[in-house]
Amino acid sequence: MNPFTFILLLLLTPFISPGQTNRKTISISDNLQLVWITNHVWAHVSVEEIAGFGQVSSNGMVYINKGKAFLFDTPVTDALTEVLVKAISDSLKSEVVGFVPNHWHEDCMGGLKYLQSIGVESYANELTIEEAKKRNLPVPAHGFAESLELKLAGNLIECWYPGGGHTKDNIVVWLPDEKVLFAGCMAKEMKSKGPGNLSDADVENWPSTIGKVMKKYKNVQLVIPGHGLWGGPELLVHTLELVNKIN
């Protein structure tokens, strides 16, 4: 085994071992997996190089219903996003019809250009669209200010902007039929000892933002963070404790 493959295995192993050994996992490539969450929800877990941080493992979410799929965050690159979309088609027998990024960073919308090239509709916080335009990035097609309700074959998808946190534009996505909250990089895994990358953070408002999320989604059963192991609402409590320490 070469050193690079060994490092990838170390990075990916936590997603399919502690507390999640019963999760069905589809290994698409050395640096991309699909992990079953609920009947209609999968996490996509990818490892890619991010400038300034090295090899980083990132989470996204796939919501599937009646042969259609919504994608929440992409892998870092267009190339890996193309591999993911093909796997969703081949392995999950579903067509990606919509996309929503958590915020403007590359580990959320690095594959948007590819999605646009195949006609996938994209939706984002207006603040995310502003950042994309300012930074000369691919721009999501449809914007919303505070909240947006989408439907996937009749099932509700709620996108909500509770305020700044990891970035000033970060949102959460709530799937009420699944009781799953995709919080992205706004939420930290339980192993986290700190709030992570603060280069674009809204440190002052992060605690109140997490508080709003906790108050609004009291019946959440599963929280998926942008990086690391997912879990229950305790991730939100842990994140609040972490961000309170930096204020």
Residues annotated as catalytic are 103, 105, 107, 166, 185, 188, 197, 227
Distances (CA, A) of 26 to 31, 32, 40, 92, 193: 12, 9, 15, 10, 30
Distances (CA, A) of 114 to 16, 45, 137, 208: 28, 18, 12, 35
Q: What is the number of helices (H) and of strands (E) in the chain?
A: 7, 13
Report the C-alpha gap between 240 and 219 in whole angstroms.
18
CB within 8 Å of 208: residues ≥ 6 apart? 163
CB within 8 Å of 239: residues ≥ 6 apart? 186, 187, 188, 192, 195, 210
